[in-house]
């Protein structure tokens, strides 16, 4: 028997089975501003249920609180807060760093597409590198040559990550409390800004964010 699959674009499946299904937290995967998926706990002989919520075209607010994380998504922002940094890594299927796809928004033949533009990487301190490392690299062809990306640590100076056609590595103090990221490409993006509150293990992605002057 094939498992029941519930595909959702905004809200969870409204069937009684979906409402009462216990979540298998080991299957929970969260991709910021893209999707969240998980399976129900095995309950023989009932089929395992699979759930998915898409965030990239969300129209109404969505909230989730389970498995040690809290998620909120709406058309303006996406938030994920976890009980620890390790939990954030686990639900995003990362090991010692986070990698986020920076995606464009375009229309092809009347359909919305999300082409790759670049990848942002936030690396935790390790034996080889005592600082929090921030890097980016191109992916796809959507990113223009005059694109800008910057990071601000604890309200300090704005540091370039993408500038003058080059990708630059940035290292910040391992005791950093807050990291703010800004992106400017002159074309629509799935998200233009992100704030990582390290102390509270919370990440907030903003659909629109003005690029600061300094």
**Whole-number Cα distances in Å, 155 to 29, 77, 135, 136, 162:** 31, 21, 19, 21, 19
Q: What is the pLDDT of residue 198?
A: 87
Instruction: Give the separation between CA 179 and CA 134, rounded to whole angstroms.
Output: 10
Q: Is residue 105 situated within a structural domain?
A: yes
Please, which pLDDT band fits residue 126 given cuts at 50, 70 and 90?
Answer: low
Please, which pLDDT band fits residue 129 given cuts at 50, 70 and 90?
Answer: low
Q: What is the pLDDT of residue 97?
A: 84
Please, which pLDDT band fits residue 199 given cuts at 50, 70 and 90?
Answer: confident
Q: pLDDT (tens digit, 9 = 90+) per residue, 181-192?
A: 999 999 999 999
Q: Is residue 174 situated within a structural domain?
A: yes
140-158 average pLDDT score:
94
Q: Is residue 160 situated within a structural domain?
A: yes
Q: Which one is predicted more confidently, 18 or 14?
A: 18
Place of tokens 């409204």: 14
Please, which pLDDT band fits residue 20 given cuts at 50, 70 and 90?
Answer: low
Q: Is residue 213 situated within a structural domain?
A: no
- Mean pLDDT of the residues in the chain: 86
φ/ψ of residue 17, rounded to 5: -65, -45
Q: Quote the Cα angle for 191-195-201, to 5°.
A: 125
Q: What is the pLDDT of residue 10?
A: 35
φ/ψ of residue 85, rounded to 5: -65, -40
Question: Residue 120 belongs to what domain range?
Answer: 94-206
Say what the pTM is.
Answer: 0.84
Does 113 have pLDDT greater than 50?
A: yes
Q: Is residue 198 situated within a structural domain?
A: yes
Q: What is the pLDDT of residue 127?
A: 53
Does 115 have pLDDT greater than 80?
A: yes
Q: Is residue 121 situated within a structural domain?
A: yes
Is 18 exposed, middle or buried (CB count within 10 Å of its CB: 0-12, 13-18, 19+)?
A: middle
Q: Is residue 29 situated within a structural domain?
A: no
Total number of residues shown for the chain = 214
Q: How many domains in the chain? A: 1
Q: pLDDT (tens digit, 9 = 90+) per residue, 55-106?
A: 888 899 999 999 999 999 999 999 999 998 889 889 988 877 888 999 999 9
Please, which pLDDT band fits residue 121 given cuts at 50, 70 and 90?
Answer: very high
Q: Kindly provide the b/e burial profile for residues 182-210, where b requires at least 16 CB atoms within 10 angstroms of the residue's own CB.
A: bbbbeebbbbbbbbbebeebbbbbbbebe
Q: Is residue 119 situated within a structural domain?
A: yes
């Amino acid at each position: 028997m094939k498992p029941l699959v519930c595909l959702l674009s905004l809200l969870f499946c409204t069937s009684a089975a979906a409402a009462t299904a216990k979540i298998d937290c080991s299957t929970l995967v969260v991709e910021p501003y893209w999707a969240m998926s998980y399976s129900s706990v095995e309950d023989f002989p009932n089929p395992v249920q699979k759930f998915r919520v898409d965030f990239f075209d969300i129209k109404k607010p969505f909230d989730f609180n389970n498995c040690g994380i809290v998620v909120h998504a709406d058309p303006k922002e996406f938030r994920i807060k976890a009980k620890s940094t390790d939990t954030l890594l686990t639900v995003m299927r990362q090991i010692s760093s986070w990698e986020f796809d920076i995606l464009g928004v375009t229309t092809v033949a009347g359909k919305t597409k999300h082409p790759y533009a670049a990848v942002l990487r936030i690396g935790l301190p390790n034996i080889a590198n005592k600082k929090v490392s921030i890097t980016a690299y191109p992916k796809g062809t959507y990113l223009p040559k005059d694109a800008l990306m910057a990071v601000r640590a604890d309200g300090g100076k704005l540091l370039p990550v993408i500038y003058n056609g080059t990708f630059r590595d940035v290292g910040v103090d391992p005791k950093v409390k807050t990291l703010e990221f800004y992106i400017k490409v002159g074309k629509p993006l799935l998200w233009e800004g992100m704030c990582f509150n390290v102390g509270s293990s919370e990440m907030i992605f903003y659909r629109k964010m003005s690029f600061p002057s300094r």
